[in-house]
Amino acid sequence: MGSFLLRGPDGLAFFSRALFRFVVSLLVAMAVISIAEAIPFQFTYDDAPDEGFWDPILGDNRRAAMERAGQILGSYLIPSFEGEVITVRAVFENLGPTTNASTSSDTLIDEPDGLLANRAYPSALANHLLGQDLNVFAHDIKIRFNSTVSFYTGLDGSPSSTEQDLIRVAMHEMTHGLGFTTHFLEDGDIFESPSIYDGFITVGSFGTPLNTMSTAARAVNLTSDNLFWSGANGVLGNAGMAPKIYAPNPYLAGSTLSHLDEATYTTVLMTPFGSPGQLTRSLTPRERGMLLDMGWTVNVFPQTTTWAGAVSNLWLDAQNWSPAAVPTNGDNIVFDTSSQTDVEIKYSDAGGIFPQTQFLNSISFTASAPSYTLRFGLRTITEITGPGFASSSAVPQTIVLESFEDDPSAAATLLPDAGADMIFRNSSSAGNLNYELHGDVTVLQQVGQELGLIRHGIVRVDFLNNATAGTASFDLTGGSGDGAFGGVLSFKNSSTAGSANLRNRAGRIGVSLPLGETASGFGAQTIFSNAASAMFARIDNDGSFEATDNRGTTHFNDLSTAMGAAIVNHGSSYADGTGGATFFNHNSTAAQSTITNESALVAGGELSGGTTVFDVVATAGNAIITNQGSSGSLLLGGLTRFRDDSTAGTATIHNNGSANVLFANGGVTQFFDDSTAGGSRIHNYPSGWSAGRTEFHDFATAGTATIDIEPVTVGFGGAVYFNDNSNAAQSNLRMFPGSASSVIRFDHEASAGNAHLEIMPGALGSIEFYATSTAQNSDIDVGSTGVLNFFDYTTAGSANIDIGSNATGTFNGGINFPGVSSVSADQSTITVRGGGVAGSLNFAANATAGNAQIVIEGGSGPGTLGGLVSFGQESSNAGASTILVGAGLNGAPGGRLAFALGAKADLATIITQQDAVLNLLGNQFYGGTSIGSLVGTGGTVLMQSHLNVGGLGLDGTFDGQLIDPNPADTDGTLTKIGGGTLILGGANTYDGVTTVAQGTLNVNGSIRGGAVVLGGATLGGTGSIEGGVNVLTGGIFSPGTSPGVLTVDSLTLQSDSEVRFELGTLSDQIVVHEDLTLGGSLVLSFLDGFVPLMGESFTLFSGSFGTPTGQFAEIVLPQGVQQTLDINYADGLITLGALSNASLIGDFDSDLDVDGNDFLIWHRGGSPSPLSPSDLNDWQLNFGNVVSNTVSLADIVVPEPPDSTLLLMAAMGWVLTRYRWNSRVRHILLAGASPSKRPWVAFLNWCSRSEKLQVDKVGG
């Protein structure tokens, strides 16, 4: 490469020194080894102590980033005079919410001679063009950085998606200071003079120069989106097209004109809007060409150099190249035919501890090239900025990045990242080559007189800014020896792995101190970050094979995606080792990838199988993930784990079962820490020994996922576990037919949420709740062969539970509340279905049905049974539940309900239908069974012991049968408790005593035993009581049900008891077959206004009781009725006769009603005690009473006002006037409770509706 002429602005020419070569080290330690000249940047930091660049925590890294930015940018610039330097002042200030940084620079205009007239030059460019420093006492560039912006200050190029890369921002601002800026103002005017930059801007591609236009025309074009760069070198660097300049509408101060167009160029340095996470640390050829157009001496365009290998295999030997010169920055390297195919690449022979950098445009292999191996040595950094690598050869080409130092003394001084590095930028490609990334090595070596542990270099390859791995193959070896790191492959900033094959191998054993011990290095790793993509790559992560934790790994971070990659995580082949792993973090996604987690190859810990981990809001996307089961004893299967708000997305996950080998293990998927299964589909497959399973822990949720336990042909079914406050949410959990020994389990405050849980008919699995877990609002279908268990303070919540539906199996479906601790059906709705093998529901010790709604269906046809619900121990309780025991269909038996061994239902409501069975067994030793309410249209109750009914105080009818199945052995007894009325309508055959303790018991059917009525209780009905009835003091015996006949064997009415008869056209009657003992009161009531007429007779008692013992102490008539009655006591017959017609107290006109006319008669002195308060009180108390043999209350005709009412109103007015509301009269009228309880007041108020008289105030 000979001398060449670089053209400056507007034809100004500068002679370039021949063969400029430069490599600037991009260093961890900020040291530079120059093999070609570059312009250095010097920095002064103007922040106050402990602030900005002097911040005690951030300051060191910020200054290091600035130095690195200067090194990179300076590497593009070739000095024009000895000691040329660009000075920069930098400071942190608050620049508001929209600005990362701002730049200003000193400018020279029209001076000194040698610069173009009427042009403004930044001082740095003026110095460069004139070959001297004209600005000795001032700084060339001044940069203010926004103190409110989160800057990434690392040197390795890994900003997060929320951080601005400080090196990129600094390079951008310093490039403005080199001249990349306009002097045109928004209104088209010019600040002082046009900048040297402005002279190259035209309207349209190669159109009218903007600086030659009028102010008005220029103002219009500043927002035209039609401005371009016309400089020849900028055009050449843009593939022959004029670079487009940013000119949006509206005008944006500080951005318009001073940048390349944002929409046209992405991820380049000099566009106006740098995104958080953007990593752009280089100048494109177009940007370098634009600097060259302005006058900078820049090594812009690549040269082509071909490897000849004439004398050796050394890159640095110029005789090996054609033309005979070592490649310099930006060159294209070509490998053709050569005998030297194992090439050793270093960029300096100067030695030292710091790496050297070479920028290459491309490396290609011709069709005739033999198989090459290019060995990039330690301390080399190779940056590929152009097309990258490509091979047209039919034989493989291999790139080796070395990590081992042959020289022990040099190795002892290596930095931790001193291995060979390669960086692909700007859409470059790794092509179709084979790459070997050798891991770090630590060995015992003799250094002088010492035997020490020597650390070698870390090898890494980085893909940045849309670069791609193409179809290359990458083999990354692990570190060897104590603390040694494996090779690293990194994809950042929208770069992609293409269709490459990537393998991350495990670390290897090496020697460590003290002597004799061994230790392993770390495994190799591939890292995707900042929206990078694995695209369609094949990625293999090896498990440990020589040590515990040295597996190969792949990491996806910060919005990166696995895209359509195929990833295999291999199991460990070392005892207690770890399997290969893939990690997704920070909003990354598995997208449409296929991930396989293989089982361990030897017995090990919980991570010995291949592992995939989703963490910190990562998602499995639409991936297909397979966790393989193991094939050997004690081997663990593959594992997928979700943590920290990550989600399974809509992925499909397969948890395979193990081989049919003792102590083998199936594949597992786990969710932790608020993670969710999302809308995924998870399959858990069976096994001959250990099936696949899914686990939820620590507030994780199943989301809306569908989780299936697949059918079993041989062995055991899969499992789903919810633990530690996890929740099934809205998921769909299913056990398929044939699933044997399968389980869905909730434990430690876990919840079934609103999930649907289904054990399909024919599946032999169980759903289990432990340790304060709850079914919450779930929908649970137990099927015909499944089991649902509640243990340890668990609750069914408000779940909807179905047992035995669509029964097709031959095993009982069951539900159990074993009650080791208190468990409850709570607010659930439970249906127990009948069938050939019916469903069953069992409550054992300390279990309660809570407030559940339970339906027990009957059989569905011949040969079928009704469902069964049982309460089996003294501490079990039906709670406040409602239990419907249903009828059978098509002649089948009804549902079955059982209370045994003292179980309780004292607050429960039990409803029975035809052919239903309620079985009470073994309760005689526990005080019997109490049922809050028993009603129904049929069914049978098998008593066998004592039954208390009615504690809820509700009215109800039970038309079924209460029977004693073993009358010879037991005497079932019944006690009516609580308020309300219980009607027994069936033929009840229990032999024990019926006790009416509270409320009313009406026997409309029959009972076989006797009855006792306690004080305050009532026994009645229209049926028969085959035993004796004893009505104790305060008890009430009331035959009929308005009216009716009640038959008893014998009857004893104790003193102060009552027997109540209703008289009417049909009247109550008691038939007594044996003894009749009378006492207490005979209480009469008249039906529908009926009043006995003189001479009428009524039969009260009949039968074969003979001469009754005793008589009634009194006859009690309805309130207000006066009549003389006579009782005739005869053998087998007791009758009641009327000796007079009935009358009403207060009925002064004897028309069998007490109305307003009777008040007028009192007022006229026509009552028995004329004008007496006592007669007025009688009228008041009985106002509205009516008795009649022919007229009901509804038939009474109310007089119209012109007749008696007007007369009454006049009379009342006269009374009130005459007596002036005498205090005695007023006391009588207003006596009693509220007006609503005084019918006469209501009558008077009715009378006053037409005219508002003083009487309106009565009672008020």
Six-digit token pair at 1237?
């309880």
Residue 830 Cα distances to 781, 796, 969, 1255, angstroms: 10, 10, 35, 63
pLDDT band of residue 1123 (cuts 50, 70, 90) is: confident
Give burial (CB, 10 Å; 0-12/13-18/19+) of 584: buried
Q: What pLDDT, on the 0 to 100 scale, is given for residue 969?
A: 61
How far is residue 118 CA from its own chain's centroid?
Answer: 67
**pLDDT band, residue 439 (cuts 50/70/90):** confident
- Angstrom distance (rounded) from CA 1159 to CA 1165: 10
So what's the pLDDT on residue 617? Answer: 93
pLDDT tens-digit series, residues 478-502 = 888 777 888 999 999 889 999 999 9
Give the confidence band of 76 by pLDDT, cuts at 50, 70, 90. Answer: confident
Distance CA 878, CA 885 (A): 14
Average pLDDT over residues 5-32: 26
Q: What pLDDT, on the 0 to 100 scale, is given for residue 949?
A: 95
The per-residue pLDDT for 1256 is 28
Quick one: tokens of 67?
Answer: 């130095």
The span from the CA of 1137 to the CA of 1127, in Å, is: 6
Q: Where are the beta strands (DSSP E) in 985-1068?
A: 987-988, 994-996, 1000-1003, 1006-1007, 1011-1013, 1018-1021, 1024-1031, 1036-1039, 1045-1053, 1058-1063
Taking the C-alpha atoms of residue 226 and residue 799, their distance in angstroms, rounded to an integer, is 67
Give φ, ψ of 782 to 5 degrees: -85, -10
Q: Name the token pair of 576.
A: 């207690």
Handedness of CA 94, 95, 96, 102 (dihedral sign): negative
- Tell me the whole-structure pTM to 2 decimals: 0.71
Question: Residue range 609-624: average pLDDT?
Answer: 96
Mean pLDDT of the region 38-53: 94
Query: What confidence tier does 337 reach under pLDDT thresholds 50, 70, 90?
Result: very high
Cβ pair 694, 728 in contact under 8 A: no
Element containing residue 1177 per DSSP (H, E)? helix 1173-1182
> How far is Cα of residue 104 from the mean position of the Cα atoms in its chain?
52
Kindly tell me if the per-residue pLDDT of 1237 is higher than 90: no
- The percentage of residues in the chain with a pLDDT greater than 70, rounded to a whole number, is 84
Segment 125-148 shows an average pLDDT of 88
Nearest to 931 by CA among 912, 892, 905, 899: 905
Question: Smallest Cα–Cα separation from 418: which of 455, 443, 375?
Answer: 455
Tell me what pLDDT residue 350 has. Answer: 62
pLDDT given for residue 511 in this prediction:
52
pLDDT of residue 504: 96
Q: 268 or 1042: which carries more pLDDT confidence?
A: 268
Element (H, E) at 509: strand 509-512
Q: Which of 757-771, 804-818, 858-872, 1030-1044 is modeled with the greatest confidence?
A: 1030-1044
Q: Is the pLDDT of residue 137 over 60?
A: yes
Average pLDDT over residues 1182-1196: 52
Q: DSSP letter for 1203, please.
A: I
Residue 547 burial (CB count, 10 A) = 24
Is residue 996 within 8 A of residue 1035, CB to CB? The reply is yes
Whole-number Å distance between alpha carbons of 628 and 748: 28
Q: Judge whether 755 and 733 are in contact, CB under 8 Å.
A: yes
Instruction: Average the pLDDT over 1120-1139 and give the result.
Output: 90
Segments in 1099-1205 forming alpha helices (H): 1156-1163, 1173-1182
Pairwise CA distance, residues 588 & 595, whole Å: 15
Please, what's the largest Cα pairwise distance for the chain?
A: 155
Give me the pLDDT at residue 335, please: 96
**What pLDDT was estimated at residue 786?**
84
Least Cα distance to 153 among 31, 34, 55 occurs for 55
Predicted confidence (pLDDT) at residue 503 exceeds the cutoff of 80: yes
CA distance 919 to 898: 4
How many whole angstroms separate alpha carbon 960 and alpha carbon 734?
A: 40
Is pLDDT above 70 for 11?
no
Comparing 159-163, 620-624, 703-707, the range with the smallest average pLDDT is 159-163
Range 1010-1020 average pLDDT: 97
Mean pLDDT (the chain, rounded): 84
Give CA–CA dist 252/246, Å, rounded: 10
Q: What distance, in Å, lies between the first and last C-alpha atoms of the chain?
A: 124
The predicted structure's pLDDT at residue 983: 96
Instruction: Find the mean pLDDT for residues 934-940.
Output: 90
pLDDT at 809: 27
* Residue 13 burial (CB count, 10 A): 8
pLDDT at position 663 over 80: yes
Task: Answer yes or no: is pLDDT of 1254 > 60.
Answer: no
Q: What are the pLDDT digits (tens) for 82-99?
A: 899 999 999 999 999 888
Going by pLDDT thresholds of 50, 70 and 90, the confidence category of residue 805 is: low
- H or E stretch covering 639: strand 639-642
User: Are 1121 and 1084 contacting, i.e. CB atoms less than 8 angstroms apart?
Assistant: no
> 139 vs 89, 296, 987, CA distance in Å?
6, 18, 114
Mean pLDDT on 318-329: 86
664 phi and psi angles, rounded to 5 deg: -75, 170
Higher pLDDT pick, 33 / 1244: 1244
At 114 the pLDDT is 65
Report pLDDT for 223. 96
Q: Residue 1214 — pLDDT band, cuts 50, 70, 90?
A: very low
Average pLDDT over residues 524-553: 91
Mean pLDDT across 519-543: 93
Q: What is the mean pLDDT of residues 1185-1209?
A: 41
Q: What is the pLDDT of residue 444?
A: 58
In angstroms, the CA 425 to CA 414 distance is 26
**Of the ranges 352-356, 574-578, 786-790, 1047-1051, the best mean pLDDT one:** 1047-1051
Give the 3-state secondary structure of 627-640.
Answer: ECCCCCCCCCCCEE
Residue 112 confidence (pLDDT): 56
Q: Which residue has the higher pLDDT, 740 or 960?
A: 960
pLDDT in tens, 589-600: 999 999 999 999
* Helix pair 1239-1247, 1156-1163: axis angle to 10 deg: 90
Q: What is the pLDDT of residues 956-974, one digit of tens each?
A: 999 999 988 776 665 788 9
